[in-house]
Amino acid sequence: MNFIESSFIYWFFVILLMIGLYGAIAKVNLVKKLIGLTIFQTAIILFYVSIGQKKGAGIPILDVGHGHGPPPEITAAQYINPLPHVLMLTAIVVGVATVGVALAVIQRLYAEYGTVEEDEILEMIVTRE
Amino acid sequence: MTWVLDLFLLLFIAGTAVAALESRCLLTSSIILGAYSFMMCLVYASLGAVDVAFTEAAVGAGAGTVFFLATILRTGRKTSR
Amino acid sequence: MKRFALLFTFLVGGLLLWGSTDFPDWNDPESPASTYVSNLYITQAYEKTHVPNLVSAILADYRNYDTMFETTVVFTAGTAIFLILRLPLGPLARRRNTEHPEAEPQTLPRDPILEMACRVLFPPTHLFGLYVLTHGHYSPGGGFQAGVILGASFILLAIAFDLRATLSRLPEGLFKPLTALGVAFYVGIGVVCLLLGKNFLDYEGLRAIFSGISPQMIRSHGILLVECGVTVTVSAVIFAIYTNLVSRGNHREGL
């Protein structure tokens, strides 16, 4: 049981990663490929967030307010590791900007070739040359 | 006992991811991708990453889904393989 | 192609699962990711910066160089989308009707329920975005979340009403410079700190202007200032991406 509890999140992360990778490689429609890449990205973010976990620790926000000061003793084992959260915050926002650029490129391809399927676009490029 | 809830959530995520990739209508895929983003937000929150969950809810289930819908409005929603 | 992709996926998945047996245990407080510098952040961040939200303190104080480049990347993406969708089409497309039949520019009938719901929802959403920005020191929140919520409130306005009506209230000449203004403000704070004698983006330099504030509180105020810059850029870029994507660059019709 301890073996399952200590590593089942890694198995789940690998499964989600492979679903995203399969979608990015095998699908022919460009929007489906982009959906596969989005699934891949959220799986990576899940992995990074999960490695900062500590047993019996709380969220990384201290219990301070107006009227009372900080908790008397701040030990590192009371709060989960905040550093992966910071890195993944950046990753999510940059990810949505990149998805916007990819969607703009898909719209240009549609305006240029009339279709969003990869093999039809390839055929048109080959017959045009 | 919370591992039952976590397990159910993770299985649901895997099912949603496969459904978003395999459906034939792109509108359905975009909406299911929005649901998938929201489920991932719940998983992040249950792992204690509240800031990441907030951002994922606002970005993935909010702005990301709207961008996908805006694109398939302009490129056609029936499809696909 | 599908069979090759399936085989390749199983192969890579098997390799990753075999490699994951070497990972440290999941919940371990002594795992290498949770030792070294992050312990220093947890124990010292409050007494140095007086910000209880450790993630905001690290994002906007200890690692604010990365956050500056992240804001620049968001601004670059908004500009790139604008450039991609507004260049003239190639020769193959000009000879063909490029409008998809389902996306004809049609004037949708005005829906009073949708408009009334949006009128009720828009002010609290906007206010909530500003609240998330300023309360990011004490609760989950901060610059990026507030920027996305503000941008999404403008998108709500554009969906419920006409796109052109929204663009008459928030014209392109306004939100395009706003995307650049946030980045310039962030870099400007760093340059001001540099000119006042300290390192780049070291908030202690601001004490020369605002004298009489303790070193901890000037760092807390510096965090709030850079988060404002980030919010302005991110909200303007999210709305700009939406208007360019939904109308394919010509800002005429929308969802």
Contact C249, C153 (CB under 8 A): no
**For C167-217, what is each residue's pLDDT tens digit?**
888 888 888 899 999 999 999 999 999 888 888 888 888 888 887 788 888
Report the residue from B37, B43, B50 with minimal CB separation from A59: B50
Report the residue from C20, C139, C148 with minimal CB separation from A7: C20
Tokens at residue A66, please? 């107006």
DSSP A27: -
pLDDT at C162: 81
Q: Which residue has the higher pLDDT, C33 or C191?
A: C191
Domain assignment present for residue C140? The answer is yes
How many other CB atoms sit within 10 Å of the CB of residue C5? Answer: 16
Picking from C96, C248, C80, the residue whose alpha carbon sits closest to that of residue A124 is: C96
Answer whether B76 sits within 8 Å of C242, measured CB to CB: no
CA–CA min distance A51, chain B (Å): 10
**For B36-69, what is each residue's pLDDT tens digit?**
999 999 999 988 899 999 999 999 988 999 999 9
Does this complex have an ipTM over 0.85? Answer: yes
Instruction: Give chain C's domain count.
Output: 1
CA–CA min distance A107, chain B (Å): 7
Q: Which residue has the higher pLDDT, C119 or C198?
A: C119
Domain assignment present for residue C129? The answer is yes
Q: How far is CA C205 from CA B35, B59, C200, C213, C222, in A?
A: 46, 34, 9, 12, 10
- Preferred mutation among B51, B54, B65, B73 to probe A, highest tally of A CBs within 10 A: B51
- Preferred mutation among A8, A33, A46, A90 to probe C, highest tally of C CBs within 10 A: A90
Residue B4 has pLDDT above 90, yes or no: no
Report the residue from B63, B74, B75 with minimal CB separation from C238: B63
Share of residues in chain C with pLDDT > 90 (%): 39
Answer whether A93 sits within 8 Å of B79, measured CB to CB: no
* Cβ of residue C102 closer than 8 Å to a chain B Cβ: yes
Work out the average pLDDT over C60-65. 90
Q: How far is CA C33 from CA A75, C20, C30, in A?
A: 16, 15, 8
* Contacting subunits of A (3+ beta carbon pairs below 8 A): B, C
Topology of the domain covering A2-55+79-128: Helix Hairpins (1.10.287)
Could you tell me how many residues make up chain B?
81
* Cβ of residue C135 closer than 8 Å to a chain B Cβ: no
3-state secondary structure C42-95: HHHHHHHHCCCEHHHHHHHHHCHHHHHHHHHHHHHHHHHHHHHHHCCCCHHHHC
Domain assignment present for residue C143? The answer is yes
How do the residues of chain A divide into helix, strand and coil, expressed in percent and rounded to 5? 70, 5, 25
Radius of gyration of chain A (CA): 22
Cis peptide before B80 (omega within 30 of 0): yes
The DSSP annotation for C90-118 comes to -HHHHTS----GGG----PPP-HHHHHHH
Domain ranges of chain A: 2-55+79-128
Report the residue from A5, A61, A81 with minimal CB separation from C52: A61
Q: Which residue on chain C is closest to B55 by alpha carbon?
A: C145
- Preferred mutation among C9, C100, C243 to probe B, highest tally of B CBs within 10 A: C100
Domain assignment present for residue C190? The answer is yes
Q: How far is CA C9 from CA A7, A10, A14, C2, in A?
A: 21, 16, 10, 10
Q: Which residue has the higher pLDDT, A20 or A8?
A: A20
* Cβ of residue A32 closer than 8 Å to a chain C Cβ: no
Contact A78, B76 (CB under 8 A): no
Domain assignment present for residue C38? The answer is no
pLDDT at C86: 80
Domain ranges, residue C201: 55-68+112-255
Q: Which residue on chain C is closest to B60 by alpha carbon?
A: C148
Answer whether C102 sits within 8 Å of B51, measured CB to CB: no
Please, what is the average pLDDT of chain B?
89
pTM over 0.80: yes
**For C229-251, what is each residue's pLDDT tens digit?**
999 999 999 999 999 888 776 77
Predicted confidence band of residue A22 (pLDDT cuts 50, 70, 90): very high
CA–CA min distance C118, chain B (Å): 16
CA distance C206 to C219: 9
Q: Which residues in chain B have their CB less than 8 angstroms from residue C148's CB?
A: 55, 58-59, 62-63
**For C146-172, what is each residue's pLDDT tens digit?**
999 999 999 998 888 888 888 888 888
Domain assignment present for residue C156? The answer is yes
How many other CB atoms sit within 10 Å of the CB of residue B29? Answer: 24
How many other CB atoms sit within 10 Å of the CB of residue B7? Answer: 12
What 3-state DSSP class applies to A58? Answer: strand
